[in-house]
């Protein structure tokens, strides 16, 4: 492994470690959104202002989560493109060659579906009426 490739792997690992912290923060924020949503759904007569604030919080938390997930896919794609460009001028390890072939399309779609499911589920709890039976 050449020094430039090693530096790239080290930089990528550093980013992924930092991004994991943001992801944990996003999970906590989404979890709190589910708690708020569930409390509103279980309660009776929740004021409109509380529902609006819960909606705003849930949207912010899920957008934060989407941003974190998207940033990870974009950065890994950037590293993949860097490895692909480097492979034109130097020999790379097998791992770097596999990374150069990375396609972020499927992870991006999965991230979008994941975040949409979160927000739909939370908003349903905030705005749907509970059956009285």
Residue 85: CATH number of its domain: 1.10.132
- The verdict on residue 132 lying in a domain is no
The total of structural domains in the chain comes to 1
Write out the residue range of the structural domain in which residue 32 sits.
Answer: 3-127
Per-residue pLDDT of the chain (133 residues; tens, 9 = 90+): 788 888 999 999 999 999 999 999 999 999 999 999 999 999 888 999 999 999 999 999 999 999 999 999 999 999 999 999 998 988 899 999 999 999 999 999 999 999 999 999 999 999 998 876 5
Q: How far is CA 56 from CA 40, 59, 101, 118, 122, in A?
A: 14, 5, 39, 14, 11
- The verdict on residue 133 lying in a domain is no
């Amino acid at each position: 492994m050449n020094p430039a490739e090693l530096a790239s792997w080290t930089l990528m690992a550093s980013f992924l470690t930092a991004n994991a912290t943001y992801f944990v923060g996003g999970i906590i924020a989404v979890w709190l959104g589910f708690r708020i949503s569930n409390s509103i759904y279980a309660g009776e007569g929740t004021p409109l202002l509380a529902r609006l604030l819960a909606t705003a919080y849930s949207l912010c938390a899920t957008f934060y989560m989407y941003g974190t997930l998207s940033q990870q896919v974009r950065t890994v794609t950037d590293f993949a493109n860097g490895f692909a460009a480097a492979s034109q001028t130097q020999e790379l390890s097998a791992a770097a060659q596999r990374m150069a072939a990375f396609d972020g399309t499927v992870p991006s779609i999965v991230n979008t579906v994941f975040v949409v499911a979160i927000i739909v589920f939370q908003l349903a709890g905030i705005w749907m009426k509970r059956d009285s039976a």
